[in-house]
Chain A
Amino acid sequence: MSYLARALPKRVLAPSVAQSLRQTRGLSTTTLQTTPSTRTTQLTPRTNQPRQFRHRSYHSDLHARLPDHSYTNSQTAILTSALAHVPTHGFSATALTLGARDAGFLDVSVQLLPRGEFDLILFWLASRRGLLRGKVEEGGLFRRIAAEKGKDVHELSVEERVRGLLLERLRMNADVRDVWQDALAQMSLLANIPLSLTELHALASDILTLSGDDTVDATWYTRRLAVSAIYASAEVVMTRDPTPDLVETAAFVERRFDDRKALADKITGIGQCAGFGWNTAIGLGRSWGLKI
């Protein structure tokens, strides 16, 4: 294949190579990454792609990862400094102003963030999501989760990984849990709901992808919905959790995952029951001589 690729003219090649790359995914990506200099001509359409489709809502091994947020350098500087003031001042204009001062800006420079406090909340969510991914890519996180359960990393099921990641993400909120209710209130304002939900979906999607969930059927949606629902409800529980290591929240999450499993079993059972019933009805009809 690679020989053909080099022999054929470039213009004809680009789409067909992309096609074949998609089919033989694992192999091609590794070869492409190790020898980029020999294949630069075929690489061009791929490397251009992230810039063309900035808002991609799926994960692919073939594309470079999108940045966690789309803030500019100056905005990131202000927001990063402002996060240090969040535990004391909450997700507020005061924290933003203090952050701007720390970053060497003026009080008036918070105008750089058109959404104000909500930008601070979004930045918190997006940056924590990036940190979570970083922890997984380092490799230490799953090893720790496995060690807690007394297992090897490879023995961890997808379900266990999802639970571990979700709890890890909740623990990142430990510092801000006293002010998190205000943030939840901000996020639930009508104008802010779409972006908040987008961020929640991104988190659920990241957690599932990082756990190695590769379903492509209808459960793609239900899984994300379930993880989102559990995370969102656990966040509310977390704000009222007085225990130091979020023990109550962890127990809550475990119960919700059990509920989810029970619910999924029930739905499967009901589906099976309905299927049997339907088959019986058809069999009965046929035995009566109906032409079904």
Chain B
Amino acid sequence: MSTMSTRSAWRALHYSAKRRAFQPSTPYRCFSCANRVQEQKPENDRMTHFGFTNVPEAEKEIRVGAVFSSVAASYDRMNDLMSLGIHRLWKDHFVRSLNPGSCLPALTADQRGWNILDIAGGTGDIAFRMLDHATNVNHDMETRVTISDINADMLAEGRKRSLDTPYYNTSRLDFVEANAEHMPHIPDASVDLYTVVFGIRNFTDKQAALNEAYRVLKPGGVFACMEFSKVDNPILDGIYKRWNFGAIPLIGQVVAGDRDSYQYLVESIERFPSQEEFRGMIQKAGFMIPGQGFENLTGGIAAIHKGIKPIVKA
């Protein structure tokens, strides 16, 4: 039985090898037909990855938009289920380590409070935590957060949630719909702290976003990013991958009724660069890296990256 199957397999291989299509060594030279022209893609249509599939750059934004519009309503419940609640600990740790808000009286008027820009923070998870920390821990009533998101549905979710916070309709909280790769409405050197939490993974051009972050930050300002990363322990990694590709799309299907969006989510996590590569990208944008440059959370499932914009001495 087994010998027969191997023989047939061999024959199939052999057969296909014989029938391989002829490949000309010279490029296609027929000028009279339009095949060649049709094959050529337009110049601006560069490809990028959307999960494991490749899509044109222009299309990625739309498709990511569709994903997050579809998950906005069930975002929090899904995060709790997917991370077993750990994402709340990560976010608390992230905010605590940044310690937003000044506990000391400011020397000058323009130093009062921090100007925080929370990118891809549509639902306000990080923004409300930072305002709470500034108010309750550092007794700083001046620190303000601008929530910027490319997705109107996520921002609407955040607006809805802000009704329950004391920051609703105050000057301390602001919502802006913008693309983080290009933010002409934010002046140069105007932001103290730029945060992007579980968002930069979905950006079409991450380096452009980092460069834009560098532009809007004041000298001495901090870029802080929390993102899914690479697990260093092979055993934990095995369990984590199994959970990601086995359980998460299923949970998405059952709870949110949307398998494809959560399939994209886990694929985009897989495609995101490792801690060291991403640190290199932050450095390339011009930031100083404090110490090791990243802090692994839960064995590297998520990592906090930080960069500081250097001060240029006159």
Contacts and interface: CB of A to CB of B under 8 A. Distances in A.
Nearest to A70: B291
A107 B290 contact: no
Interface in B86-109: 98-100, 102-104, 107
Given A101-B107, A112-B308, 18 more contacts: A74-B288, A74-B311, A93-B99, A94-B103, A100-B220, A104-B220, A107-B102, A107-B104, A107-B114, A107-B192, A108-B222, A111-B98, A111-B290, A112-B288, A112-B290, A114-B292, A114-B295, A115-B291
A267 interface: no
A281 B117 CA distance: 83
Nearest to B104: A97
Contacts of B288: 72, 74, 112
Contacts, number: 58
Contacts of B104: 94, 97-98, 107
Nearest to A103: B311
B249 interface: no
Binding site secondary structure of chain A: helix
A197 interface: no
A104 B224 CA distance: 20
A108 B107 CA distance: 15
Contact of B114 (A74, A100, A101, A108): A108
Interface residues of B, number: 25
Interface string A131-151: 000000000000000000000
Contact of B290 (A94, A97, A114): A114
Contacts of A107: 102, 104, 111, 114, 192
Interface of B: 98-100, 102-104, 107, 111, 114, 192-193, 218, 220-222, 224, 288, 290-292, 295, 306, 308, 310-311
Interface in A68-114: 72, 74-75, 93-94, 97-98, 100-101, 104-109, 111-114
A108 B193 contact: yes
Given A94-B104, A104-B220, A106-B218, A111 B192 contact: no
A92 to B, nearest CB: 10
A111 B310 contact: no
A109 B99 contact: no
Given A93-B99, A114-B291, A114-B292, A109 B107 contact: no
B130 to A, nearest CB: 11
Contacts of B114: 107-108
Contacts of B111: 107
A104 B219 CA distance: 9
Contacts of B292: 114
- Which has the most chain B C-beta neighbours within 10 Å: A72, A98, A108, A115? A108
Contacts of B310: 74
12 contacts: A72-B288, A94-B103, A97-B102, A100-B220, A104-B311, A106-B220, A107-B104, A108-B100, A109-B220, A109-B221, A111-B306, A113-B291
Contacts of A75: 290
A81 B125 CA distance: 35
A72 B221 CA distance: 17
B102 A111 contact: no
A108 B295 CA distance: 18
A75 B107 CA distance: 22
A268 B303 CA distance: 55
Contacts of B224: 111
B113 to A, nearest CB: 10
A170 to B, nearest CB: 30
A75 B304 CA distance: 20
B85 to A, nearest CB: 25
The 7 closest A-B pairs by CB, nearest first: A105-B220, A114-B291, A106-B220, A109-B220, A111-B222, A108-B222, A112-B290
A104 B114 CA distance: 16
Contacts of A74: 288, 308, 310-311
Interface in A178-231: none
Contact of B220 (A72, A93, A108): A108
Nearest to A97: B104
A244 B262 CA distance: 68
Given A74-B288, A101-B107, A104-B220, A109 B102 contact: no
A122 to B, nearest CB: 12
A94 B100 CA distance: 13
A4 B222 CA distance: 58
Contact of B308 (A97, A104, A111, A115): A111
Interface centre among A98, A107, A109, A112 (most CB of B within 10 A): A107
A105 B308 CA distance: 10
A101 B108 CA distance: 11
Given A74-B288, A74-B311, A114-B292, A106 B98 contact: no
Contacts of A106: 192, 218, 220-221
A168 B296 CA distance: 41
Contacts of B192: 106-108
A104 B218 CA distance: 12
B148 to A, nearest CB: 18
B119 to A, nearest CB: 16
A109 B308 contact: yes
Nearest to A105: B220
B291 A108 contact: no
A108 B311 contact: no
